[in-house]
Chains A and B, each alone.
Chain A
Amino acid sequence: MTLPLIVYRSLRQHALSTLITAGSIALACGLLMTVWVVKTQAQAAFVSTSTTFDAVLGARGSKLQLVLNGIFHLEASPGNLAASDYELIRKHPAVKTAIPIAVGDNLRGYRIVGTVPQLLTNVEYAPGKNYAVAPGGKVFGEAAREAVVGSFAAERLGLKVGSTFQPFHGLTFDEKALHEEVFTVTGILTPTNTPADKVIWVPIKGVQTMSGHDPKAATDVSAVLIQLRAASAGVMLDLMINKQGNRMTFAYPVGAIMADFFGKISWFDRVLALVAYLVALVAAGSVLASIYNSMSARQRDLAILRALGARRRTIFGAVVAEAACIGALGAAVGFAIYFGLLTLVAGVIRAQTGVVLDVTESHAVLWICPLAMTALCALGGAVPAVKAYRTPVAETLAPVS
């Protein structure tokens, strides 16, 4: 009971500094875990979403822009493709599926994407998983002014089967840019935890022929989402469209483009990691400073313990254990901060990208970080522990008589 009692009483005696120090550690731990989990999960979610289609065909421009626009429903379209280009790729023997999309409108910030019903009926958004319309609804008709709304968008916009809406022109919401067409919601998609959840899907004709759009472009598409019959076909199409042609861009392979993108922004990860490490170091330093500064007040107690027979190593161990306890306490509270922050960040990421982070998913950092932080604090505690170790008993207890 000795060591736990000494540690417990010391923590109680210095409750305020204990709480403040543990708080800073909790913040550091929570931030570290959140940064790591968000980074890892977001990257994994983006990469897994990229597996639905092998390639995106669009106007000449950036491959990344095409992928972000066509698959993640972010970014603007680099331009349009003529209907003949779509037909050309659709009929290409190497292409298994070609889904055209047309963008350019929104409903209160949620993107309206025109496409063909086959996207919602025939395409797997993840291996073995097809889009499904919730009971009571149906997929829009190809030529009708109907819409199927992603689950997240439906929840945020309060749309139900039978609801009607008028689209707004552009990809960002401007209440003055209201189109006159009225669409009726025929179905709500069941949640997919993909960017499709924040999209309002309408027939491609609905976007192409919307009032105010260029009538000359009434058959154009923004991009074509492509599944290939074989990987080798992608190399061939890449050569044909990107290297030999100059009108279109064939973004292939989608996964590699996203991986390249994450590679390019990896410096940001490193900066975040560096900041998190620094926060952790500062937190460990605060443990050191907090205990060290209170050593003068504790020295009498330590000298009394020594006089009662406590060995130097017991005193050293008690101070280190106290620092470790502050670290462990901080790490425990850090979990609460982690869950709070992750929930918040996951909400923002979902709202912005449609990518869903799993707050309950386990990750190695969730045990490595608390353990490392506790060890770091114990290490920080070693400095005041040495001071405690050296406490001169007789001189501290009483002056020479």
Chain B
Amino acid sequence: MLSVADLTKSFVTPEGGRAEIVRVGRFELAAGEQRALRGESGSGKTTFLNLVAGILAADGGRVEIDGVDMAALPEAKRDRLRADKIGYIFQTFNLLQGYTVLENVLLGMSFGPRGVDRAHAVELLRRVGLEHRLGHFPRQLSTGQQQRVAAARALANRPKLVLADEPTGNLDRASAREALALIREVCRENGAALLLVSHDDGVLAQFEGLQDFAVINAAARRGLGAVPADGKEGGS
């Protein structure tokens, strides 16, 4: 489902130099597989997910999703591939504040291959316990409820790959467990692969497929910002 090879990304520093944030030699995720990556804040996890989602353009390497190299695609095709195949649950939810709960989910659907399916959106929101909040705006919801909307939106398109960036970071333990269980359950139902990054041991403990992000990200092992000597380091 997801195959990453020799993926690199660096940013220009305020001093004018370049800081390498991501250097992943090889990483693979099978269809339907659920994997968690453990990593501390600032380890490049979000950048890695953004590269996989095609939100960021890589400096080099490959990100294949269902055999299509996302990194090699022009931006418009990356957008389409993301809308077709990927659901992204952001750490900060990234809900559209001017849109209702239902509209947030419907908009997520509208860019996807199946288009808007209002009944499915309502059903998802029912499953996350928000059927009575369809017309509410995000600011009228609790943090936990907002997170559930974000999850419903990411899952609404029946994506083949779900990326979750600290999806329970703003929730209490009980809500986090509940939200995570729902995400995993829907992913299983849809046969979607789930790639979750977190630094929360309580969350990570629920995954059999657990990996340390520093193991796959050579840039993190060296200490972010260091420029690699050979450019070949990394591992799966």
- Residue contact A400 to B46, C-beta cutoff 8 Å: yes
Given the contacts A12-B98, A309-B112, A311-B80, A398 and B91 also touching, CB distance less than 8 Å: yes
Partner of A308 from B41, B44, B91, B111 at Cβ < 8 Å: B111
Q: Which residue on chain A has the smallest CB distance to residue B93?
A: A304
Partner of B98 from A13, A309, A310, A314 at Cβ < 8 Å: A13
Partner of B110 from A1, A301, A394 at Cβ < 8 Å: A1
CA distance A12 to B99 in the complex (A): 10
What is B's interface to A at a CB cutoff of 8 Å?
A: 11, 21, 41-47, 50, 53, 55-56, 75-76, 79-80, 82-84, 88, 90-92, 94-99, 103, 106-108, 110-112, 116, 153
Does any Cβ of B come within 8 Å of A60's Cβ? no
What is A's interface to B at a CB cutoff of 8 Å?
A: 1-2, 5-6, 9-10, 12-13, 300-301, 304-314, 393-394, 397-398, 400-401
7 residue pairs bridging A and B, Cβ less than 8 Å apart? A304-B95, A307-B55, A307-B88, A308-B108, A311-B76, A312-B75, A401-B44
Most A CB atoms within 10 A — which of B45, B75, B99?
A: B99
- Residue contact A401 to B97, C-beta cutoff 8 Å: no
Q: How many A-B residue pairs have CB under 8 A?
A: 91
Most A CB atoms within 10 A — which of B84, B95, B107, B116?
A: B107
Closest Cβ–Cβ distance, residue A325 to chain B (whole Å): 15
- Residue contact A305 to B107, C-beta cutoff 8 Å: yes
In the bound complex, residues from chain B placing their C-beta under 8 Å from that of A400 are 11, 21, 44, 46-47
CA distance A55 to B42 in the complex (A): 93
Q: Which residue on chain A has the smallest CB distance to residue B50?
A: A394
Closest Cβ–Cβ distance, residue A347 to chain B (whole Å): 44
CA distance A2 to B110 in the complex (A): 6
Closest Cβ–Cβ distance, residue A304 to chain B (whole Å): 5
Closest Cβ–Cβ distance, residue A315 to chain B (whole Å): 10
Closest Cβ–Cβ distance, residue B80 to chain A (whole Å): 7
CA distance A105 to B80 in the complex (A): 82
In the bound complex, residues from chain B placing their C-beta under 8 Å from that of A307 are 53, 55, 82, 88, 90, 94
CA distance A332 to B134 in the complex (A): 33
CA distance A305 to B104 in the complex (A): 10
Q: Which residue on chain B has the smallest CB distance to residue A3?
A: B110
Given the contacts A393-B55, A394-B56, A309 and B96 also touching, CB distance less than 8 Å: no
Partner of A401 from B43, B98, B112, B116 at Cβ < 8 Å: B43
In the bound complex, residues from chain A placing their C-beta under 8 Å from that of B91 are 398
CA distance A306 to B43 in the complex (A): 25
In the bound complex, residues from chain B placing their C-beta under 8 Å from that of A311 are 76, 79-80, 111
Q: Which residue on chain A has the smallest CB distance to residue B111?
A: A309
CA distance A9 to B98 in the complex (A): 6
Q: Which residue on chain B has the smallest CB distance to residue A11?
A: B98
In the bound complex, residues from chain B placing their C-beta under 8 Å from that of A1 are 106, 110, 116
- Residue contact A309 to B82, C-beta cutoff 8 Å: yes
Given the contacts A309-B112, A393-B55, A5 and B107 also touching, CB distance less than 8 Å: yes
CA distance A277 to B199 in the complex (A): 61
In the bound complex, residues from chain A placing their C-beta under 8 Å from that of B76 are 311-313
Closest Cβ–Cβ distance, residue A103 to chain B (whole Å): 68
In the bound complex, residues from chain A placing their C-beta under 8 Å from that of B53 are 307
Given the contacts A393-B55, A394-B50, A398-B90, A306 and B99 also touching, CB distance less than 8 Å: no
CA distance A97 to B112 in the complex (A): 82
In the bound complex, residues from chain A placing their C-beta under 8 Å from that of B84 are 309
8 further contact pairs, Cβ within 8 A, besides A5-B106, A301-B98, A397-B92: A1-B116, A6-B107, A304-B95, A306-B79, A309-B83, A309-B111, A310-B111, A394-B56
In the bound complex, residues from chain A placing their C-beta under 8 Å from that of B80 are 309, 311
CA distance A38 to B41 in the complex (A): 69
Closest Cβ–Cβ distance, residue A396 to chain B (whole Å): 10
In the bound complex, residues from chain A placing their C-beta under 8 Å from that of B106 are 1, 5
Closest Cβ–Cβ distance, residue A394 to chain B (whole Å): 5
Q: Which residue on chain B has the smallest CB distance to residue A298?
A: B98
CA distance A401 to B97 in the complex (A): 24
Closest Cβ–Cβ distance, residue A297 to chain B (whole Å): 10
CA distance A393 to B56 in the complex (A): 8
CA distance A261 to B197 in the complex (A): 82
In the bound complex, residues from chain A placing their C-beta under 8 Å from that of B92 are 397-398
Closest Cβ–Cβ distance, residue B101 to chain A (whole Å): 13
CA distance A12 to B83 in the complex (A): 26
CA distance A311 to B82 in the complex (A): 10
